[in-house]
Amino acid sequence: MATSIALTQSQPLGIFKRVGHLIPGVLLLIAVGYGGKFIERSIALYGRAHHLTLPNVEYVLWAIVLGLIIANTTGVPAVFKPGLATYEFWLKAGIVLLGSRFLLGDVLKLGGVSLVLVAIEIALSLTFMTALGKAFGLKPKLTTLLAVGSSICGVSAIIATQGAIDADEEDSSTAIAAILALGDDLAAVWDAPSTTDKDRKQLLRTLLDEVKITVCRDHDGGRADLLLRWKGGAITELTVPLKRKPPKIRTDEDTVALVRRLAVHYPDAKIAGILNRQGRTTPRGMSYTAGRVQGLRHYWGIPCHQPTGDPQEGELLTVADAAAGLGLAPSTLHRWLGDGFIKGEQLTPGAPWRIRLTPEIRALFVDDAPDGWLAMLEATLAYGVTRQTIMQRVKDGKLRAVHVRTGRRKGLRIEPPATQDGLF
């Protein structure tokens, strides 16, 4: 008795169902890629925030690490496998899109000599890497992938060459990891003592494709946000603080005005002493000297002091000069200034006293006292008051007095009291 078996033929999936089967795996590819990018940026931000120098591992390598972790721990569920099988298509599509950025006109702009040099560099790199791979006993296909990756454009060249030479995934993964590891030594090359600033500029021109700078200014100095687009398509974001311009070191206006007044009457050394006695310092916190006062005058266009050889009547003189003109000791004039008998002028606290030699001042100092004028003891008896009262009345102008500067009885002479006629 014959037994018939009916075989069911699987119906081909519709276009929408096939696309639906691919979506989970494609989404997983995108998640792993962005996961690698997130790890790269997080490490860079952490290093800048804590002022640490951390290795700059590209996100492609982190994506490979994430894929290894998933494959060797939880495994890849069946629902993701159809989409994951399309990874090669996305890699090749990325290479095509990368190549579309370069126009033939841009290549021709390099010139014939530059193109010849590029061809020579590629040929030498391929030859050297091939010889190096044979010397270390590497597989021929792995050697070829390493040669094109190091001589042309890195990971993109490896992926494009993989299909052409039918290399397995293990060789391509090894070649990609090795090429990416070469970039980890970039910091060492940059910081090497033998690397000059010219070399660093040339290195940046070689590696960078575009730099976008956005300046944000505020009261604290602001910052510059940099977006670096590398030749391989990677993007790096940096934030660089902008230093505020330090305020100009200037002498305060009060000191400049004071020097302007003092320069009319005093030389620079005297002005420096006055400023130091007032506790003033230069903008850098140093004490004043004649040279620093001179520099201050020159900067602000203040003329220097011009002493006159023949003092004019009524001119302001220092106590020493006035005492010499009156034939007195300077201590006598200082005492009269302190007692208030004569008026003096002081431009600023700490500045020397000056006296204006008017005829009235000169008349207070005589060689002979007027007839009948009394010495201090005689004046106290005549007025019946104390010495302090006599001095205060002279100061207030209620009594006239002169200073005898010659003879045996030098000193103050007081006008006697007026005589009163008798009642009888």
3-state secondary structure the chain: CCCCCCCCCCCCCCHHHHHHHHHHHHHHHHHHHHHHHHHHHHHHHHHHHCCCCCCCCCHHHHHHHHHHHHHHCCCCCHHHHHHHCCHHHHHHHHHHHHHCCCCHHHHHCCCHHHHHHHHHHHHHHHHHHHHHHHHCCCCHHHHHHHHHHHHHHCHHHHHHHHHHHCCCHHHHHHHHHHHHHHHHHHHHHHHCCCCCHHHHHHHHHHHEEEEEEEEECCCCCCEEEEEEEECCCCEEEEEEECCCCCCCCCCCHHHHHHHHHHCCCCCHHHHHHHHHHCCCCCCCCCCCCHHHHHHHHHHHCCCCCCCCCCCCCCCEEEHHHHHHHHCCCHHHHHHHHHHCCCCCECCCCCCCCEEECCHHHHHCEECCCCCCCECHHHHHHHHCCCHHHHHHHHHHCCCCEEEECCCCCCEEEECCCCCCCCCC
Indicate if 216 and 257 belong to the same structural domain: no
pLDDT score, position 287? 93
Indicate if 129 and 266 belong to the same structural domain: no
Residue 367 lies in a domain: no
Indicate if 130 and 232 belong to the same structural domain: no
The domain in which residue 217 lies consists of 206-241
Residue 36 lies in a domain: yes
Last residue of a domain, one of 215, 241, 267: 241
Residue 328 lies in a domain: no
Residue 200 lies in a domain: no
Indicate if 80 and 121 belong to the same structural domain: yes
Residue 91 lies in a domain: yes
Last residue of a domain, one of 161, 188, 215: 188
Per-residue pLDDT of the chain (424 residues; tens, 9 = 90+): 445 444 444 555 567 777 778 888 888 888 888 888 888 888 878 877 777 767 667 777 788 888 888 888 888 888 888 888 887 777 767 766 666 665 555 666 666 677 777 778 778 877 887 888 888 888 888 888 888 777 776 777 777 777 677 777 777 778 877 776 666 667 777 788 888 888 888 888 877 878 888 888 776 667 888 888 876 667 788 888 877 666 677 888 889 988 998 888 888 998 999 999 989 999 888 999 999 999 999 999 999 888 765 555 567 788 888 888 888 888 888 888 877 778 788 878 878 888 888 888 888 888 888 888 888 888 899 999 998 888 888 888 888 888 888 877 788 888 898 765 544 4
Q: What is the reported pTM?
A: 0.34
Indicate if 161 and 298 belong to the same structural domain: no
Residue 151 lies in a domain: yes
pLDDT score, position 276? 92
Number of domains making up the chain: 3
Indicate if 115 and 154 belong to the same structural domain: yes
Indicate if 24 and 104 belong to the same structural domain: yes
Indicate if 88 and 130 belong to the same structural domain: yes
Indicate if 30 and 166 belong to the same structural domain: yes
Residue 351 lies in a domain: no
pLDDT score, position 424? 43
Residue 121 lies in a domain: yes
Indicate if 112 and 94 belong to the same structural domain: yes
Indicate if 264 and 179 belong to the same structural domain: no
Indicate if 227 and 288 belong to the same structural domain: no
